[in-house]
Amino acid sequence: MIWKLENPEAAAPFFAGRKDTLIHSALAGIMGDVYGNGTAAMVNLGDFCLFGGEPDKELASFRVPGHEKDYMILVPGDEGWGRFIEEAYGERAKKITRYQMEFSGPEAFSSVTAPVPEGFVLAPMDEKLYEACLKDKWSEDLPGQFGSFAAYEKMGLGVLALLDGKPVAGASSYSAFPGGIEIEIDTKQEFRRRGLARACGAALIKACLERGLWPSWDAHTEISKDLAESLGYRLVCGYTAYEVNGY
């Protein structure tokens, strides 16, 4: 039997030693949900499910109630979880490598330069831009998992690149955890490879440091990894995840 934990922190032993900030967000009760069966647990935050504890076939195939998308990223705690995920989703589960990055600190970042390309301006995320991002597919993740601008304004922050007043790229908080945010960076297809992601990322990191927030970065692709490294991060390790389409 699987149930939603009323006290998320009770699942902490299943995730001992894990550094995923999404786990810490959920265990702290800031955002996300935790499901368990007594011997294992699954954290769900947005498009991510992360597993810990004794690998369990039922929990590996458990569909998050109310999840509207047919897409989910599943992060196994070990190979045992991976086998159950592959068994549950078959060809719908694509095995990928994500990259755990570590911020080298303010000193390393102080030497980073990221000029804003000519013709574009950077602007902080406000309510109008928050709503605009939600309306476009490319930018729908930039407002993060806060549920409302009021919550975003309280716990998150973001920087957008604008062209003629409209967002074309941005760096923002996908989620918040005690003392920091998890960074999300997106660029509209036709404006990629112009330095906009780097400019937005640098501005967001600077804003985080000014507020005393830790800018966590978990890279989904090698391109994201390389961008992070150019902004003062170092690679800790690659790890296995599964992209599930038809979730």
> Which pLDDT score is estimated for 108?
82
Q: Which tokens go with 162?
A: 């604008």
> Which pLDDT score is estimated for 183?
98
> Which pLDDT score is estimated for 107?
86
Q: What is the pTM of this model?
A: 0.95
φ, ψ at 73 (rounded to 5°): -105, 120
Ranges of each domain in the chain: 3-100, 105-231
- The list of the chain residues with pLDDT below 70 reads none
Which position has the token pair 């900030």?
21
Q: What fold does the segment set 3-100 form as a domain?
A: Aminopeptidase (3.40.630)
> Which pLDDT score is estimated for 209?
96
Cβ atoms of 63 and 28 closer than 8 Å:
no
Read off the amino acid at residue 230: S
Q: How far is CA 194 from the centre of its chain?
A: 23
> Which pLDDT score is estimated for 85?
99
> Which pLDDT score is estimated for 133?
98
Q: Do domains 3-100 and 105-231 have the same CATH topology?
A: yes
Which CATH number applies to 105-231? 3.40.630.30
> Which pLDDT score is estimated for 145?
96
